[in-house]
Amino acid sequence: MYDKNNIFAKILRKEIPCNKVLENDYVLAFHDICPQKKIHVLLIPKGAYIDLDDFNSNASDKEILEFNKAILEIVKLLKISNKNNGYRVLSNIGSDGGQEVPHLHYHIFGGEEIGKMVA
């Protein structure tokens, strides 16, 4: 069950501020407050989805399309697209996957070499 009091839900309700990168009717993207790379942005859907499984099972086709289109828009805005040196998109799902906030989110990293996928 979705927790309406998770930090991303509070950010969406503007109870907690964020350093916004992109926002539209479907998504919000903002800089991570504890960046792990030179560029570290979080992309979240505005709908109440726990993880990627929940999102792909329950979101509308339009929500899914807009969420994925937002990645390209963000990397272009931040000048880390494949035309530059590239980027990494990561989503942690469930406890074994390391998910800490029960709201679907993608981490978008760039601006420097990211390194191996798994150490």
Distance CA 27, CA 8 (A): 12
- Which amino acid belongs to residue 22? L
What is the reported pTM?
0.95
How many CB atoms within 10 Å of residue 87? Answer: 20
Query: Domain limits at 17?
Result: 7-110
- pLDDT (tens digit, 9 = 90+) per residue, 81-108? 988 899 999 999 999 999 999 999 999 9
**Phi-psi region at 98: left, alpha or beta (left = phi > 0; alpha = psi -120 to 50):** left
- Does 53 reside within a domain? yes
Number of separate domains in the chain: 1
Query: 105 an active-site residue?
Result: yes
- Does 116 reside within a domain? no
- pLDDT (tens digit, 9 = 90+) per residue, 53-83? 999 999 999 999 999 999 999 999 999 998 8
- Does 115 reside within a domain? no
Q: What is the pLDDT of residue 36?
A: 95
Instruction: Please tell me which residue in 31, 40, 103, 105 is annotated as part of the active site.
Output: 105
Q: What is the pLDDT of residue 118?
A: 64
- Does 118 reside within a domain? no
For residue 28, what is the domain's CATH number?
A: 3.30.428.10
